[in-house]
Structure 1
Amino acid sequence: MRTDVIALSSPLDTAFFSLLKGSYEQLLGRALLPKVPDDGDEANWLYHDAPFAVLAQNTADDPAFVYANIAAQRLFAYSWEEFSGLPSRLSAPAADRAARNRLMAGVLSHGYAEGYRGLRVAGTGQRFWIENVTIWNLMDADTDGPGSGDTVRGQAALIRAWSNA
């Protein structure tokens, strides 16, 4: 397995959306999105209208967020500009970062994790719990031929619920 760093042109980047959705569906064997409005613009629906939070980070030495839909921006109290490039470790309180790092390393090795619950901190300093979270690798199928593995381009999280700490 190799890693590669993601770069987005915008929060509605269709190539990134394909990577996000395709990786989830390949690893978990089910659809990322419920049925969306008839216009079929799933990337727009996920970014603007989804009732759940979705975040993604790259694979840099100090991974940074590259995507946060509007629900995630509200939850974490950061704008798109503030989220983009923010080291993802800062989303967890300092005392919880080692456990978060172990979780993310496990996802990197195993492909995904489900049912996660963890303490997080918003840009305002307020602490809250993220609950019923699925975290998965963002993977491009390798084009070098069979058995050459996949390229991990980042990791994403689907946060279905949250509560005050």
Structure 2
Amino acid sequence: MTPPPEPTAELRRRVERVAASFRRLLGRPLLPGAGADTWSALWHAPAVIVAHGTEGDPVFFYGNRLALELFEMDFAAFTRLPSRCSAEPMARAERERLLQRVSRDGYIDDYAGVRISASGRRFRIEQAVVWNLLDADGTQHGQAATFGRWMPLG
């Protein structure tokens, strides 16, 4: 898997917000000992990290190398994908309930569900943390998720 193109300043800010929001909401770092280069740390993280914006049909703006491998996409394709399309059509109502719960509570740390890759390969994620992306003023900029456990399905 090739790395994403050199990030713009705006994309770097958004990715930094992913880590800062996690720390603010959960009271611990997303990546303990990550250092100053958030972009590189998240890209090389030993867990999947994804994030989407606040569009009417939210689109992923970030997926780290592990996410791209799991979803079988390159960075350009992944960052054009509406996040709802990461779930099978029959699982989208469940996913929507999850995102409403995150919007209400700030985060959840117990999500499990089935996702689908670009080739149609299904996998179940477990113990996922999903959280709101908030700036220092509390303005919401999207949602993010991380998980380190998944298993292929049939």
- Give the TM-score normalised by the residue count of structure 2: 0.89
Structure 1 counterpart of 2:3: none
Structure 1: stretches of 5+ with no match in the other structure = 1-8, 143-149
Deviation at 1:33, TM superposition (A): 0.4
1:10 counterpart (7, 17, 30)? 7
Amino acid at match of 1:45: A
Residues 152 and 81 of structure 1: CA distance in aligned 2, closer, same or farther (over 3 Å): same
Amino acid at match of 1:43: W
Q: CA RMSD in A?
A: 1.7
Q: Secondary structure at the match of 2:21?
A: helix
Residues 71 and 43 of structure 1: CA distance in aligned 2, closer, same or farther (over 3 Å): same
Residues matched between the structures, number: 147
Task: Say which one has the larger Rg.
Answer: 1
Structure 1 counterpart of 2:30: 32
Structure 1 counterpart of 2:145: 157
Structure 2: stretches of 5+ with no match in the other structure = 1-5
The correspondence of residues 16-165 of structure 1 with structure 2, limited to 5 A, is 16-36=14-34, 40-47=36-43, 49-142=44-137, 150-165=138-153
Between 1 and 2, higher relative CO (CA 8 Å, sep ≥ 6) is seen in 1
Identity across the alignment (%): 39
Residues 88 and 11 of structure 1: CA distance in aligned 2, closer, same or farther (over 3 Å): farther
- Give the TM-score normalised by the residue count of structure 1: 0.83
d(CA) in 2 for partners of 1:50, 1:141: 24
